[in-house]
């Protein structure tokens, strides 16, 4: 009997020029279910895959997973637990819970659209839109949109931003499981305006990045004992040496990134190949096992 995966690989290779390898995002994107393996993140957030991933239930008492057609509500058990707990924390702030966006594909890996990261089940997007209902249908979860919390010039938050957003982000950042949280620069700017020294330990985890005005992106640390997970270095702690990130890094976002007339160069970011071009040879060898496992 031909295994489904072998069939997919054969089909893909037939469609490719001689010698070309199938793309990893096509292979992982075709997998409808997780691997029957011990749960483990494999590789790096933007170059890896996830063994034994767990599904965030489509609807829970304090959350709904959005855009179910994408089948990206899969993550490491640590991430699923974290999100469920964060959605409970949201209710303490007066929200009904959370709308959860993309986590990972059933076996992680590179995606055919969107995110460079989200590959190992330790990244998740949370919508800025406070839930109006937690009984949305599948169809409603495809059509409803989140809200943007920043102004058109990107320099400040707009009237959609609330103290609850700030408290939710603080609650997430104070959690030791969290490595960093990506937000629009306007959010970091706002949080820095009211920061005191006591806020430094968690505020440094809030990182400005392009986009991220309709959702924030939570990245968890490699769970203890996950030997094949590659931690992000430098970690936020090492990078900022005890600072809160409200100084040099943020001023670059304000003066350069948000000002197209200024010098184009920002902080040096080493050029890296797009995960969309990865073949299996670009991923850790264990990802081939993840792909082949039942």
Does 179 bind Zn ion (CB under 5 A)? Our answer is: no
- Smallest distance from Zn ion to CB 51, Å: 21
Q: Which stretch binds Zn ion (CB under 5 A): 54-62, 202-210, 215-223, 264-272?
A: 215-223
- Smallest distance from Zn ion to CB 108, Å: 13
- Smallest distance from Zn ion to CB 261, Å: 29
Q: Which stretch binds Zn ion (CB under 5 A): 104-112, 119-127, 187-195, 203-211?
A: 119-127
Whether the CB-CB separation of 294 and 36 falls below 8 Å is answered with yes
3-class state of residue 124 by DSSP: strand
- How large is the greatest C-alpha to C-alpha distance in the chain, in angstroms? 64
Q: Could you tell me which residues come within 8 angstroms of residue 141 by beta carbon, excluding any fewer than 6 positions away? A: 64, 65, 66, 67, 68
Q: What are phi and psi of 280, to 5 degrees?
A: -60, -25
- Smallest distance from Zn ion to CB 244, Å: 22
Select the residue interacting with Zn ion from 78, 84, 125, 179 (CB under 5 A).
Answer: 125
- Smallest distance from Zn ion to CB 162, Å: 21
- Smallest distance from Zn ion to CB 186, Å: 17
Does 78 bind Zn ion (CB under 5 A)? Our answer is: no
Q: Which stretch binds Zn ion (CB under 5 A): 78-86, 118-126, 140-148, 185-193?
A: 118-126
Q: Where are the beta strands (DSSP E) in the chain?
A: 40-44, 47-51, 54-55, 59-60, 63-65, 74-75, 98-100, 123-127, 178-183, 206-208, 215-220
* Count, residues near Zn ion per rule CB under 5 A: 2
What are the Cα distances from residue 137, in Å, to 16, 66, 143?
39, 10, 10
The residue among 9 and 124 lying less far from Zn ion, judged by its C-beta, is: 124
- Smallest distance from Zn ion to CB 104, Å: 10
The residue among 40 and 125 lying less far from Zn ion, judged by its C-beta, is: 125
- Smallest distance from Zn ion to CB 118, Å: 6
Residue nearest to Zn ion (CB): 217
Query: Residue 50: which of 232, 218, 289, 294 has the closest Cα?
Result: 289
The residue among 35 and 119 lying less far from Zn ion, judged by its C-beta, is: 119
Strands 74-75 and 40-44, sheet pairing: unpaired
The residue among 78 and 125 lying less far from Zn ion, judged by its C-beta, is: 125
Assess whether the previous peptide bond of 219 is cis (omega < 30° from 0). no
Q: Which stretch binds Zn ion (CB under 5 A): 40-48, 51-59, 143-151, 213-221?
A: 213-221
Quote the distance between the C-alpha of residue 186 and its chain's center: 19
Does 217 bind Zn ion (CB under 5 A)? Our answer is: yes
What are the Cα distances from residue 117, in Å, to 81, 113, 120, 217, 219?
20, 11, 8, 10, 10
Radius of gyration, CA atoms only, the chain: 20
Residues that bind Zn ion (CB under 5 A): 125, 217
């Amino acid at each position: 009997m031909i295994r489904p995966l072998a069939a997919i690989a054969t089909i893909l290779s037939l469609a490719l020029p001689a010698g070309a390898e199938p793309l990893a995002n096509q292979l992982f994107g075709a997998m409808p279910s997780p691997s029957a393996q011990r749960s483990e993140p494999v590789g790096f957030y933007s170059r890896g895959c996830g063994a034994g991933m767990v599904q965030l239930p489509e609807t829970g008492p304090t959350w709904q997973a959005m855009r179910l057609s994408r089948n990206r509500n899969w993550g490491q058990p640590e991430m699923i637990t974290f999100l469920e707990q964060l959605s409970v924390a949201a209710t303490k702030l007066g929200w009904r819970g959370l709308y959860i966006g993309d986590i990972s594909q059933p076996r992680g890996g590179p995606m055919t659209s969107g995110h460079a990261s989200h590959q190992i089940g330790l990244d998740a997007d949370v919508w800025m839109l406070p839930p109006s209902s937690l009984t949305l249908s599948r169809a409603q979860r495809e059509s409803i949109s989140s809200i943007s919390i920043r102004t058109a010039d990107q320099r400040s938050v707009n009237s959609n931003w609330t103290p609850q957003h700030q408290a939710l982000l603080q609650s997430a950042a104070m959690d030791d499981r969290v490595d960093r949280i990506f937000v629009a620069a306007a959010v970091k700017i706002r949080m820095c305006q009211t920061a005191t020294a006591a806020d430094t330990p968690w505020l440094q985890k809030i990182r400005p990045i392009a986009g991220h005005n309709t959702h924030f992106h939570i990245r968890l640390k490699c769970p203890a004992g996950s030997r094949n997970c590659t931690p992000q270095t430098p970690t936020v702690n090492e990078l900022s040496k005890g600072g809160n990130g409200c100084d040099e890094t943020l001023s670059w976002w304000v003066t350069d990134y948000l000002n197209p007339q200024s010098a184009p160069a920002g902080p040096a970011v080493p050029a890296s190949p797009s995960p969309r071009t990865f073949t299996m040879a670009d991923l850790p060898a264990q990802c081939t096992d993840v792909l082949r496992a039942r």
